[in-house]
C-alpha cells in the first residue's frame, strides 16, 4: 500500500521516544514511516488529554504522548510499534487505519508462534485467549496519521506499578474486579516463545507482513536533535507534560480519537489497556484462580 521509511529497532528514554513519535507524524506527510522501539528505563506515559492525577509517586520519567487514552507503565519489558502514513485517501477513516495495522501486528505475532490471536478494534487491542497482549492508540492529523502501541514481552513488576500509578477497580454485579489482577493475567510473549532475541523475531515478522517496499534509515544523535527541535523541545517541557500546553489545533489535527483537542484534562481514568474493554470481557481478564 505504501513505500516506507523504516527506522529499525531502538531503545531510548521516554522523552526521546515521544519526540520521535511526533517527528514521524510530521515526516509521514510526504512518506509513510515505521519503527520498533522500547524504553531504556521504567517510565509512565500519560494520554494526550489526561490529568496527572493518575501519578501516585514520582521518581521515574513521566511523559505525555500525542495520542489519546490514559496512563501506561513501560520499560524494557515491552516492544513498541509505530506506523505513520500520509492522509492520501488510502484510509477513509481512522478506524480503517487502525484495523489495517492491528491486523498486520496480529499476523506478526502469529508468525513467531503465538496462538489464538484476535484483533479487537472496539477495545483498540489485540487479544490472546481473550486477554490483551497488545494495545494501541491513534492520532488523525490533517495531512498525516499515526498509530502506535505496545506488546508485553516480559512480566511487569506489579508492585512498582501499583506504587506509582492509579489502578482502578470495577464493580460488576456483586463482585469487584481489579486492574491489578487484569495486569497480572496479561499474556506474556516470553512465556510463550523461548528465545532471547524475541524482539528481533517479532520485528522481522511484523516487517514481513507489512511490506517489501521500504528504505532503511537509522536514528542517531543528529536525528534525535532534529526530532526535538521540530516541535520546539515540547516533550522536555513541564507545561506539556503536566498541563498539555500547547494543545494541538484544528489546523494541524483532525482528531485525537476519543478526546477534545483543547478540552479540560480528564481525571480519575483507569489504566489505558482496559479503558475501552466492556465489563463482561474485563471480568474474564481480571478473574484469578486465587
CATH code (residue 183): 3.30.930.10
Find, among 99, 71, 72, the residue nearest to 83 by Cα: 99
The dihedral over CA atoms of 229, 230, 236, 242, expressed in degrees to the nearest 10, equals: 150
Residue 59's pLDDT band (cuts 50, 70, 90)? confident
Question: What pLDDT does 270 receive?
Answer: 97
Question: What pLDDT does 2 receive?
Answer: 96
- Residue 173 gets the label, from left (phi > 0), alpha (psi -120 to 50) or beta, of left
**H or E segment and range at residue 83:** strand 78-86
User: In the predicted model, is pLDDT for residue 289 greater than 70?
Assistant: no
User: In the predicted model, is pLDDT for residue 108 greater than 60?
Assistant: yes
| Contact in structure between 231 and 240 (CB atoms under 8 Å) | no
Residues in the chain, overall count:
290
Question: What pLDDT does 290 receive?
Answer: 56
> Can you give the residue range of the structural domain that contains 52?
4-286
Q: Over the chain, what is the mean pLDDT?
A: 96
Find, among 180, 39, 209, the residue nearest to 119 by Cα: 209
User: In the predicted model, is pLDDT for residue 97 greater than 80?
Assistant: yes
What integer is the mean pLDDT of 255-273?
A: 97
Please give the Cα distance from 132 to 275 (Å, whole number): 12
**H or E segment and range at residue 233:** none
What integer is the mean pLDDT of 216-241?
A: 96
Reduced DSSP (H G I as helix, E B as strand, rest coil) percent helix, strand, coil of the chain, to 5: 35, 30, 40
How many domains are there within the chain? 1
Name every residue whose Cβ is closer than 8 Å to that of residue 150 and which is 6 or more positions away in sequence: 72, 74, 78, 79, 80, 81, 134, 135, 136
Sign of CA dihedral 7, 257, 40, 152: negative
Q: Give the count of beta carbons closer than 10 Å to the beta carbon of residue 230.
A: 14
Helix intervals (H) in the chain: 14-27, 94-111, 158-164, 179-184, 189-192, 198-210, 221-230, 238-243, 279-286
Amino acid at each position: 500500500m505504501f513505500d516506507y521509511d523504516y527506522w529499525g529497532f531502538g531503545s531510548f528514554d521516554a522523552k526521546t521516544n515521544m519526540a520521535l513519535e511526533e517527528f514521524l507524524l510530521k515526516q509521514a506527510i510526504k512518506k509513510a514511516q515505521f519503527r520498533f522501539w522500547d524504553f531504556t528505563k521504567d517510565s509512565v506515559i500519560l494520554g494526550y488529554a489526561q490529568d496527572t492525577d493518575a501519578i501516585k509517586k514520582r521518581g521515574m520519567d513521566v511523559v505525555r504522548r500525542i495520542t489519546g487514552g490514559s496512563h501506561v507503565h513501560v520499560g524494557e519489558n515491552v516492544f513498541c510499534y509505530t506506523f505513520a502514513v500520509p492522509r492520501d485517501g488510502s484510509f477513509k477513516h481512522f478506524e480503517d487505519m487502525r484495523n489495517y495495522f492491528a491486523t498486520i501486528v496480529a499476523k506478526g505475532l502469529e508468525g513467531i508462534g503465538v496462538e489464538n490471536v484476535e484483533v479487537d478494534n472496539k477495545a483498540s487491542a489485540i487479544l490472546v485467549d481473550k486477554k490483551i497482549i497488545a494495545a494501541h492508540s491513534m492520532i488523525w492529523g490533517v495531512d498525516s496519521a499515526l498509530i502506535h502501541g505496545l506488546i508485553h514481552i516480559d512480566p511487569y513488576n506489579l508492585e512498582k506499578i501499583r506504587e506509582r500509578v492509579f489502578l482502578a477497580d470495577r464493580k460488576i454485579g456483586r463482585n469487584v474486579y481489579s486492574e491489578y489482577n487484569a495486569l497480572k493475567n496479561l499474556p506474556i510473549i516470553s512465556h510463550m516463545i523461548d528465545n532471547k532475541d524475541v524482539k528481533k523475531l517479532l520485528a522481522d515478522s511484523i516487517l514481513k507482513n507489512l511490506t517489501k517496499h521500504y528504505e532503511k534509515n537509522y536514528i542517531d544523535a543528529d536525528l534525535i536533535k532534529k526530532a526535538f527541535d521540530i516541535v520546539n523541545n515540547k516533550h522536555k517541557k513541564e507545561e506539556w507534560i503536566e498541563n498539555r500546553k500547547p494543545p494541538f489545533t484544528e489546523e494541524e489535527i483532525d482528531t485525537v480519537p476519543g478526546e477534545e483537542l483543547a478540552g479540560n484534562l480528564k481525571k480519575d481514568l483507569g489504566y489505558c489497556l482496559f479503558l475501552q474493554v466492556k465489563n463482561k470481557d474485563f471480568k474474564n481478564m481480571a478473574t484469578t484462580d486465587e
